[in-house]
Structure 1
């Protein structure tokens, strides 16, 4: 298969696929990461059809990559968009590729920088036959065991599921962060880090995000090295927009999105924790405190 985009996620995905025995030709604009000089060279290195080409590029780059790629592929090839693309674009992309006989899957991918070690949660949208053809790749990428993969539905379903997943993530992170700020402000609780660590076993609020929170506090107990600014990457906004369109109330997710907007106006203690959590699971840049 070909893999376009070898950043924080794509590079580790290439390695996990290779460890499972798959041949992966990766392309990235950074020549130090790339296995090919360009998209044409990447496709030329792939076996005969049906080829599989997986995109892990920002949403802003998907259309331009597809424009170049479609002229290089053959009837029966499959393109997978595994980036955080907006689900409303997937049917259009599937239709455009279908005109050239190329098939399309949209795959929401979760796992951040830890996916190489633990596997990636995959939410897939598209036709069942195409999903089945690509199952060896999905099996290699997903965690071991029964969970971590779902064929969510037709084109758009994978990215819609990932969008809602990330909206939930926003709300969970916000709840942890607000709890941390409240504990830090109290005079009664003397060891906030140990309190959070104690919740990792037995508590109903235990989760992988909680584990990452504890890891962040171990590195910087008071988060003095982090600026309380958290960017929103798009999926939170899209989740709220979809909820408005469908008349579904999502007050917790909406509030967590707006809290990120607040972080751009004031250096909030809770936003320090949001920024620290994003860095732990996704390798996002952490801005230092202003002098």
Structure 2
């Protein structure tokens, strides 16, 4: 079993390790020479190359090439390169957190050139190496069948934790909604623990409460497990900035809810909370102060 893997960062590197440990031969490329050297030294089933061209030349046909690159310009550039290197019957898997409409476009373009395409929403983060990855696939049935042997190695079990969702784009659409749900769950935990920490007269041990909730509670989850472990290390969080970025999938989920007319207030609120953490509501908050002062004479807090 031979597979090309382009992008050997935190996710891609661990996917290469899991595949190689399961007996697959990984033909890998990453822009970092150190990353390439480290991975090839770890396992003889991982062969790394200093260029995509060299990788494609060595990878036996029909080729399966899996991209684990950031969505957007970097992925678009790689699609263009691959179209000039691959042969008819080769298959490209996009494992990025890509917009599903882009994946539909990529499928059309690659199919027209004689190539196959599968979009793969991949969840599992840095824990996927040990626990396996949840994988959501979109594409034609024959294309998914060609990549299925590798999916069974990456997933938690051969018939567990992966699904062929439907046509091209459906894998990334499903992953988009998955990440939107993730936003809401994270925000709920963040707000709940903030309430616990703020009740100073009770002197609550938030780390111990998190640990207690892990056992039998309705809100027990892997996300709570990770939260409890983090709070056990540092429950005060004094060294952190209240600044939270977003990958873009939460935005796409909210936009999709508007297009479909399906309300998603929890996900939208969680996304807006991340925007607020970056100071993007500062102007509005200042204006609220002015309005309260104007109609009620309320004091204004100044720097």
CA distance in structure 2 between the partners assigned to 1:240 and 1:185 by the alignment: 30
Asked if the contact 2:91/2:115 (under 8 Å) is kept, the reply is yes
Pair 1:252-2:266 in alignment? yes
2:15 is matched with 13
The equivalences for 1:11-160 within 5 A come to 11-34=13-36, 35-47=48-60, 49-60=61-72, 61-144=74-157, 146-160=159-173
1:225 deviation in Å? 1.7
CA distance in structure 2 between the partners assigned to 1:98 and 1:233 by the alignment: 28
Q: Which structure has the larger Rg over C-alpha atoms? A: 2
Deviations 1:227-260 (A, max 9, x none): 1111011000000000000000000000000000
2:202 is matched with 188
1:189 deviation in Å? 4.9
Q: Considering only aligned residues, what root-mean-square deviation do their CA atoms show, in Å?
A: 1.1
1:45 deviation in Å? 1.6
Asked if the contact 1:27/1:33 (under 8 Å) is kept, the reply is no
Pair 1:167-2:186 in alignment? no
1:132 deviation in Å? 1.2
CA distance in structure 2 between the partners assigned to 1:211 and 1:110 by the alignment: 16
1:190 deviation in Å? 2.2
Higher relative contact order (CA 8 A, sep 6+): 1
**Normalised by the size of structure 2, how large is the TM-score?**
0.86
* Secondary structure class of the residue paired with 2:202: coil
1:238 is matched with 252
CA distance in structure 2 between the partners assigned to 1:70 and 1:122 by the alignment: 25
* Long gaps (5+) in structure 2: 37-47, 281-303
Deviations 1:149-208 (A, max 9, x none): 011110000000000000000000000000010000112252111011101010010000
* Secondary structure class of the residue paired with 1:172: helix
* Residue from 214, 225, 228 that aligns with 1:214: 228
Q: Which consecutive aligned stretches of 4+ in structure 1 deviate over 3 angstroms post-superposition? A: none
**Normalised by the size of structure 1, how large is the TM-score?**
0.89
Asked if the contact 1:10/1:56 (under 8 Å) is kept, the reply is yes
Deviations 1:252-288 (A, max 9, x none): 000000000111129xxxxxxxxxxxxxxxxxxxxxx
- CA shift in 2, pair 1:31/1:146, >3 Å: same
- CA shift in 2, pair 1:145/1:18, >3 Å: closer
Deviations 1:5-24 (A, max 9, x none): 11110000000000111010
CA distance in structure 2 between the partners assigned to 1:66 and 1:146 by the alignment: 30
1:146 deviation in Å? 4.4
Asked if the contact 1:14/1:24 (under 8 Å) is kept, the reply is yes
CA distance in structure 2 between the partners assigned to 1:105 and 1:145 by the alignment: 18
